[in-house]
Amino acid sequence: MAASITAHGGVHDDGHDHGHDEIIYQETRDMRLMGFVLFLGTDVVLFSSYIFAYIYLRNSIPMWPPGPPVVPAQLPRLDTAFAAFNSVVLFGSGVTMHYALEHWKHANRGRFNLFMALTIILGLGFLGGQAYEYAHAQIGGWNGNTFGASFFTLTGMHGIHVFIGVCFLIALWIQTRAGVYTQQRFFGLTAGTLYWHFVDVIWVVLFFLFYLW
């Protein structure tokens, strides 16, 4: 009798309506997703305000990068080749995060753990590369000139987001090992993937502004 009720009514032996629970979960998940997207939207506004301020300064100064008025050409440029390599590291982490989520959906725990670990390692590698660049960039420091202030402010703000993202992914990884998520309910992993792709997209804009323009 209990088995028949389960098949037709969605009620298990304990009398609990799991179909109703699934509907509640889907509604809650949709609201949480909307809230997370709105959170990312506020970050877009934050970065956009700084980016447009930089573009305004960039277009209002005749000589760029701004340097000493006598010998402006002596101001070194950024290491575009190194930044391109570091960018590949970050974009690669976006790929591995995508596959980590896909393997979780397909209940492949081993591959999920592998790609999750690679994502975290690549994220830390990007931060290490950024720290190396900060230590060797000869652009006048944060308060040395307009270009240096803009560069360190925007890339530093992005670096903070990457660091937060790495901590977020580590927390999610611990939760998966603790059994918080299942193959049907994994909103946290979806949010982590969206956030990681967000920092990838922001870096595309910053790379163009500081290294290619």
67-80 per-residue burial string, b: 16 or more CB within 10 A, e: under 16: beeeeeeebeebee
Per-residue pLDDT, 66? 63
Per-residue pLDDT, 5? 34
State which residues form the domain around 106: 2-212
The model's pTM: 0.83
CATH number at residue 40: 1.20.120.80
Radius of gyration for the alpha carbons in the chain, expressed in angstroms and rounded: 23
Mark residue 90 as left, alpha or beta (left: phi above 0; alpha: psi -120 to 50; beta: remaining). Answer: alpha
Per-residue pLDDT, 185? 87
Q: How many domains does the chain have?
A: 1
Per-residue pLDDT, 65? 66
Q: Give the list of residues 6+ apart from residue 83 with CB closer than 8 angstroms, or none.
A: 133, 207, 210, 211
- At residue 182, the 3 state secondary structure works out as coil
Task: Report d(CA 183, CA 155) in Å as an integer.
Answer: 36
Per-residue pLDDT, 165? 97
pLDDT by position in tens, the chain (length 213): 334 333 333 334 444 555 666 667 676 878 888 999 999 999 999 999 999 999 998 888 777 766 555 444 444 578 899 999 999 999 999 999 999 999 999 999 999 999 999 999 999 999 999 999 999 887 766 666 788 889 999 999 999 999 999 999 999 999 999 999 998 889 999 999 999 999 999 999 999 999 988
Of 129, 156, 128, 126, nearest to 141 by C-alpha is 156
Print the SS3 string covering 187-199.
HHHHHHHHHHHHH
Contact 26, 190 (CB under 8 A): no
Residue 17 φ then ψ, to 5°: -85, 95
Task: Report d(CA 104, CA 114) in Å as an integer.
Answer: 11
**Residue whose structure tokens are 């299942």:** 182
Task: Report d(CA 62, CA 170) in Å as an integer.
Answer: 46
Contact 77, 66 (CB under 8 A): no
Contact 119, 169 (CB under 8 A): yes
Per-residue pLDDT, 183? 85
